[in-house]
Amino acid sequence: MMISLLHDSNTFLNQKFVIGKIGFKKISQNILNYLSFHNKFTILYLKSMYIKQLSLSNYVNNY
């Protein structure tokens, strides 16, 4: 009884695993897309902050 139950749950898990792998690929692709999109903004923001910092330090150094 226990063995057959284990076997059933194993095949069930394998099926879930295959579906999960496909789902995971899609989800990870979405996450990657989101991150690359987000990173572009982050990099732009950091660049602008860095430029501001440079101009501020130049301003301070000149006086």
Rounded to the nearest integer, the mean pLDDT of the chain is 70
Percentage above 70 pLDDT, the chain: 54
pLDDT exceeds cutoff 50 at 22: yes
Q: Helix, strand, or coil here: 1?
A: coil
Handedness of CA 6, 7, 8, 12 (dihedral sign): positive
Query: How far is it, in rounded angstroms, from Cα 16 to Cα 13?
Result: 5
What average pLDDT does range 36-44 have in this prediction? 75
What is residue 27's predicted lDDT score, i.e. its pLDDT? Answer: 72
The secondary element (H helix, E strand) that includes residue 60 is helix 2-62
